[in-house]
Amino acid sequence: MSVLGVVICGLSVGMFKHAAFGVDPFQTLMSGLDACIPIRFGTLYVIANVVLLLFALLLDRRKTGLATLINLFLLGYIAEGSQRCLQALLPGAGLAARLLLLLAGIVIMCLASALYFTADLGVSTYDAVALIWSEKQSRVAFPVCRVICDLACVALGVLLCRAAGFSLRQITGVAGIGTIITAFFMGPLIAFFNTHVARPFLYGRGQGET
């Protein structure tokens, strides 16, 4: 479940990028960093996540594990390869195809997150931030923490893109309607898939939804 979650999450990032309606909030931040730092995206993704990993280890190392390392070292390169494959398969994709890619990317990303959350072998360093926050602040539910973290990533990513000289059209491709949808609905959708798909799959339907 952990490996499958990380792999299909990487595929979903490629879908977001090729759809060009805006990427998910964390990838918005990564796009801003990528615009300012001239190194390969997969390598930059590893570096950024190592920094987040250090914070996660200091705050709650129980959230890190094998899946965290798989995510850290593979997801950026899987996303990069996924985008290249889609560019080769769907060059000049029309509006309908792009909308389908966006919707598929949102669903697949939320399902992927639920899979490796429930597998309990560690989560991505970014996902750990909202999870640790929601546990430290018991009065704030995880979906709310996730929405706040996502909005902060979007704002910082847009500022970095603007600082790098991106035009309004380029910024819209990084932070667009897809970003807004994921910022507000990704947390609740992950919680839904966790309850109705991931936990029943791992523990059985009767145990999964309790």
The domain spans of the chain are: 2-208
Q: What is the pLDDT of residues 46-63, one digit of tens each?
A: 899 888 888 888 877 777
Q: How many C-beta neighbours within 10 Å does residue 152 have?
A: 14
For the entire predicted model, the pTM comes to 0.73
Q: What is the pLDDT of residues 133-190, one digit of tens each?
A: 887 776 778 778 888 888 899 899 999 998 988 887 778 778 888 888 877 777 788 8
Tokens of 130: 């909202």
- 204 φ/ψ sector (left φ>0, alpha ψ -120 to 50, else beta): left
pLDDT in the model for residue 207: 56
Tokens of 160: 């970095």
Distance of CA 15 to the CA centre of its chain: 12
Per the prediction, the chain carries an average pLDDT of 84
